[in-house]
Chains A and B, each alone.
Chain A
C-alpha cells in the first residue's frame, strides 16, 4: 500500500511539474507569465486541499454527501442565470470573481461521485434490485447531469455518465438493468449529434481528416502535425512552431500536442505511463479499501481521471472525435486542477484506512501509509 501511494503521489507530482513547464512554454509567446501565475495559484490551493483531504477520514464525507451535492446543484443552477454565469464561446459554464474563473461543473463531478458512493454504500444490499439499484440513482444522476448538459457541456456530461455508470456497476447493479439506459443514452447522444450541424461536422472530420483539415478538422490536423514533427525526442523545449497560433487551445485542451512536439515520443509515452500508474494505483486502492464507500469512491475518482485522460489524449491524437476535455494535472484550468488534487487527496485518505493484506476483514490502519503530499 505504501508503494502504491508513493507511486501515485510521485506520478501526480511529475505530471504537475511537467504541466507547469509546458504551460509556460506554450503560453509565453502570447500571454507571458499570466497563465503560469494563475495555474500556480490554483495549484497551491489544490495542494492544500489535497493535504487536508488526505489527512482527514474520508468516511466523514458520508455525512456531508448530501449537503455537498445540494451545494453543487445550487451552483449549477446559479451559473445558468444571466449576469451570474459567465459565457465563453456560447457556453455558460463559468463564475467569474475578479480575475478568477470557476467552473461549478468541476465541483459537481466530485459531489456526484461522493453522492453515488454514499448511495452504493447505504443501499449495498438492494443494488441488485431495479428500483433501488438503477431507477433512483439514475434519476439522481440524470438530474445533475441534465443541469450540466444544458450549459451546454456535453463532454462533462458524457464523462460523468460513464464514471457514475462504472460506479453503479461496481456497486453491484445487474448488467440487464444498466445496458438499456446506456443504449438509451447513446441513442439520445446520436440524435443530438445529428441535429447539431457543428457536432456532426466534427464527426465527419474525424472520419475523414484529410478532407476537413482546413475547416472543422483544422485543430485536430494541426495537432497531428505537432506530434509528427516531434519524433523521438522532440524539437526541444520552447521550440514548438505549432503553438504559434496554428493549434487553437494549445495551452488548455491541446497542450499534450505541444508536449509531443517539444519533447517527443519519450515524453508522451511517459505521460501515458504515468496515467497508467495512477489508474493502477487508484484501482489498487479501491481493491484494498476498507468499506464499500471507499471502494466506490476510489473507483469513481480513478474512473474520472482515467476516462478524462483517455478522452483527452484520444482527441488530441485524432483517435477520437473532437471534444473539449482538459488533460488532468497538465492542461491549464484552475477549477479542474483543484478538483483533481482534492480527488487525489481522497484517494490517499482511502489508502490510509485500507485493510491490511492478510487480515481481510479487520480495519487496521497502516501507520506507514500516511503519505506526504508535500512531496509534490
Chain B
C-alpha cells in the first residue's frame, strides 16, 4: 500500500541513490581511465626494484701464477638510528671494539638525524654508514654480538610492541649494505708496487643510490682497469611492502661477469732478487733513488722492475715522490751507456771497424769552441777500447765521423725520444732535438750521452736490442688475460719494434761490450764467475738549473750470457753518496749481485769457468733387471 507521499519519498530516495551511484561511476572512470597512466606509474614505484651486483675485480698474477693483487668481498656496516631508539650507548659499547672505532664517536653517529626532503616533509635518516671494508669475519662477529645483546630496560616489558622493538634492534638495527663492497689487497706488500700501482674509490650514482666503486689509479691497475673491473650485473624485480622479493615477478636477472685475471711477465722470484739487491745498495750508497729492471732481450718481457723509494699499495699514502715509477717517468742524460748507440750505428754504416784506431788526445779535445774531457788520459784507442775504457773523446770522434743525420737516425731508431709503449701510465719519451736545432758541439756531445734525455726504460731496451741480434723489442708487461677458470682470453705476443743494426754488427758490439766487465774495462766489478757479461757503465753528471753540478747518476746496463743473452739487467743510482760515484764502482756490483742470483734462479746454462761437457749418467738401482733411469747433471 503506497500512498502518494510515500511514493514521492521513495522516488526521492531512488533519485538520491541513483545520483550517488552515477557520481561513483564517474569517479571510477576518472581514476581508471583518465588518470590511468599517472596512477599506474606511481603504483609501479611501490614494487619495482633494481638491484646491482658488483663483479669481483680480477687478480693480478705473476708469470708463475703467484698472486700479486687480489680482491676479497667485504661488508659496509650501516645502522638504522630509528631501530636503535635510545640505546646508542649500549650498542656503541658492544660493537665499537669490533669496528675499531671510538665508542663516544660511534654513539654520536647512531643518533637519529632529521632532514627535510623535497616536499618539506621531515625524514629521519635510516642509513648511516659506520664503517666500510669490514671483513666477513668481523661482520659475523658484529652480528653475533648484536644478537646476544640484552638491555636493562628490557626485563620488565610485556607488550608485544616493545618485544618486537627489541627483537628488531638486535636483528636489524646494524645491517650490511645490500651492495657488496670489495677490498683490494696486495699480499706481497710493496713487491712490484710501481708495476702494480694501486686502486682508489670513486663515487658513482645509480637511480639516486650512491655507490663507491673501486678503480685503478696507477700502474697496471689503471691501464688494465676496464679488463680487471668486470661487468656489473643487475636484477629487475618486484618487492612487497616488507621489501621481500617476489621471485616469480623477476623480469631480468643478469649475473655479473667477474673481471679478468691479468698475468704479468713479472716473475716475483726475480722481482724479489732485484728488490733485495736494490735495497742493499740503497743502504750502502744512500742515493736519492735507485732503479732497476730485468728484461728478457729476446721478447722484450720485463721480468722485474723496481724503484726505491717505494710504497705499499695496500695503503699508498700521499707521498707522490715514492709512488712515482722513475724508470718510465723520470728522464735524465744517459751518460756513457749511450755510447753503444753511436758505436753500433757507426759499425752498422761501416764507417768504422772494431779495430780502427782513434787518437784520444790524452784526455783533452777542443772541438767547436768547447773542450771535451776523458776521465783518464788515453792515447790511441781502438773502437773496442773506446767502449771498454768509455772514452768520451773517442766516442765524439766516431760521432763526428758519422755525421749529424745518421747519428740522429740511430738515436731515434734505438727508441730514444719516443715512448716505448709499455702499458703503464705516466711514461715519457725524453728529449731528442732534431738536427736543425743542434748546436755545433752537439755532434760531439751526443755520442757521450749529453745533450739529450732518456728514461731508464729506453736505455735498457736499447741495450736489449744489441743483445737481441739488433732487433729492438717493445717492452712487454702483460703476458695474457684469463678468466676465473684459467681460460686464456687474450694472449699478448712479443712485438718487434724495428731492426736497428744487423746481426753481424750486434755480434761485434757484444764483443766490444764484453771487454767492459774485465780488468781492462770500466766495470771489472760486474764480471761474473760462470758467465760472460756484456755491458756498459754510465756516469752522468746531474744538471741543475741548466748547469752541470758535482752530482752523478751512476748506472750499469748489461746482459749475459753475452753471446746468447737470457736477461738484460739495468741498474741506476741517483746521486750515490759513498766514496765513489762511477757506474763501474757503484752500479756494477749491484748488477753482479742481481745477475748471480737471477742466473741461479733461472737455471741459466753457464758459458765459462766450467769444465765443458755435461755428462748424462745412468744410475742403476740395486741391480734390478729393469733399471730406473735417472738423469742427473754433473758439472
**A residues near B, CB below 8 A?**
166, 169-172, 214, 222, 224-232, 241-242, 244-246, 260, 264-265, 268-269, 272, 275-276, 279-280, 283, 286-292, 295, 299, 302-303, 306-307, 309-310, 313-314, 317-319, 355
Please tell me if the beta carbons of B32 and A242 are within 8 angstroms of each other in the complex: no
Provide 13 A-B residue pairs closer than 8 Å at the C-beta atoms, listed in order of the A residue: A170-B13, A228-B36, A228-B42, A228-B43, A229-B43, A230-B32, A232-B33, A279-B21, A299-B10, A306-B20, A310-B21, A310-B24, A319-B24
Complex CA–CA separation, A178 to B36 (angstroms): 43
Please tell me if the beta carbons of B13 and A264 are within 8 angstroms of each other in the complex: no
Q: Which residue from A241, A244, A275, A303 sits with its C-beta under 8 Å from B21?
A: A275
Q: Write the nearest CB–CB distance from A248 to chain B, whole angstroms.
A: 9
Closest residue of chain A to B8 (Cβ to Cβ) is: A170
Residues of A contacting B43 in the complex (Cβ-Cβ under 8 angstroms): 225-226, 228-229, 241-242
Complex CA–CA separation, A265 to B28 (angstroms): 7
Using A241-B43, A276-B18 as known contacts, say yes or no to A287 and B32 having CB atoms under 8 A apart.
no
Residues of A contacting B32 in the complex (Cβ-Cβ under 8 angstroms): 227-228, 230-232, 260, 264-265, 268
User: Ordered nearest first, which 5 A-B pairs have the shortest CB separation?
Assistant: A228-B39, A245-B241, A244-B240, A225-B43, A227-B31
Residues of A contacting B7 in the complex (Cβ-Cβ under 8 angstroms): 287
Q: Which residue from B1, B24, B40 sits with its C-beta under 8 Å from A313?
A: B24
Complex CA–CA separation, A295 to B3 (angstroms): 10
Q: Write the nearest CB–CB distance from B13 to chain A, whole angstroms.
A: 6
Residues of A contacting B46 in the complex (Cβ-Cβ under 8 angstroms): 222, 225, 241-242, 246
Residues of B contacting A242 in the complex (Cβ-Cβ under 8 angstroms): 43, 46
Complex CA–CA separation, A268 to B20 (angstroms): 15
Q: Write the nearest CB–CB distance from A16 to chain B, whole angstroms.
A: 19
Residues of A contacting B38 in the complex (Cβ-Cβ under 8 angstroms): 228
Q: Write the nearest CB–CB distance from A9 to chain B, whole angstroms.
A: 20
Closest residue of chain B to A310 (Cβ to Cβ) is: B20
Q: Which residue from B2, B6, B29 sits with its C-beta under 8 Å from A265?
A: B29
Tell me the interface secondary structure of chain A in the complex: helix
Please tell me if the beta carbons of A225 and B10 are within 8 angstroms of each other in the complex: no
Q: Which residue from B6, B35, B39 sits with its C-beta under 8 Å from A170?
A: B6
Residues of B contacting A222 in the complex (Cβ-Cβ under 8 angstroms): 46
Q: Which residue from A230, A244, A272, A279 sits with its C-beta under 8 Å from B241?
A: A244
Q: Which residue from B5, B28, B33, B121 sits with its C-beta under 8 Å from A172?
A: B5
Residues of B contacting A288 in the complex (Cβ-Cβ under 8 angstroms): 2
Most buried by A among B21, B32, B238: B32
Please tell me if the beta carbons of B28 and A268 are within 8 angstroms of each other in the complex: yes
Using A268-B28, A269-B28 as known contacts, say yes or no to A306 and B2 having CB atoms under 8 A apart.
no
Q: Does B433 contact A (CB under 8 A)?
A: no
Closest residue of chain B to A260 (Cβ to Cβ) is: B32
Please tell me if the beta carbons of A317 and B33 are within 8 angstroms of each other in the complex: no
Complex CA–CA separation, A200 to B3 (angstroms): 42
Q: Does B426 contact A (CB under 8 A)?
A: no
Q: Does B23 contact A (CB under 8 A)?
A: yes
Please tell me if the beta carbons of A291 and B1 are within 8 angstroms of each other in the complex: yes
Residues of B contacting A287 in the complex (Cβ-Cβ under 8 angstroms): 2, 7, 10
Complex CA–CA separation, A355 to B14 (angstroms): 21
Residues of A contacting B50 in the complex (Cβ-Cβ under 8 angstroms): none
Complex CA–CA separation, A232 to B28 (angstroms): 10
Complex CA–CA separation, A225 to B32 (angstroms): 9
Residues of A contacting B241 in the complex (Cβ-Cβ under 8 angstroms): 244-246
Indicate with 1 or 0, residue by residue over B37-57, a CB within 8 angstroms of chain A CB atoms.
Answer: 011101110110000000000
Within 8 A of A (CB), among B226-244: 238, 240-242
Complex CA–CA separation, A317 to B21 (angstroms): 12
Please tell me if the beta carbons of B28 and A260 are within 8 angstroms of each other in the complex: yes
Q: Write the nearest CB–CB distance from B20 to chain A, whole angstroms.
A: 5
Using A232-B33, A279-B21, A314-B27 as known contacts, list a sample of 6 further A-B pairs with CB atoms less than 8 Å apart, ordered by residue number in A.
A172-B3, A228-B43, A229-B43, A241-B238, A289-B2, A310-B21
Please tell me if the beta carbons of A225 and B13 are within 8 angstroms of each other in the complex: no
Complex CA–CA separation, A222 to B44 (angstroms): 11
Residues of A contacting B362 in the complex (Cβ-Cβ under 8 angstroms): none
Closest residue of chain A to B242 (Cβ to Cβ) is: A245
Residues of B contacting A268 in the complex (Cβ-Cβ under 8 angstroms): 28, 32
Please tell me if the beta carbons of B42 and A225 are within 8 angstroms of each other in the complex: yes
Q: Which residue from B14, B35, B240 sits with its C-beta under 8 Å from A245?
A: B240
Complex CA–CA separation, A154 to B18 (angstroms): 25
Residues of A contacting B377 in the complex (Cβ-Cβ under 8 angstroms): none
Residues of A contacting B35 in the complex (Cβ-Cβ under 8 angstroms): 228
Please tell me if the beta carbons of B246 and A272 are within 8 angstroms of each other in the complex: no
Most buried by B among A245, A260, A299: A245
Most buried by A among B3, B20, B31, B40: B31
Q: Which residue from B10, B39, B44 sits with its C-beta under 8 Å from A227?
A: B39
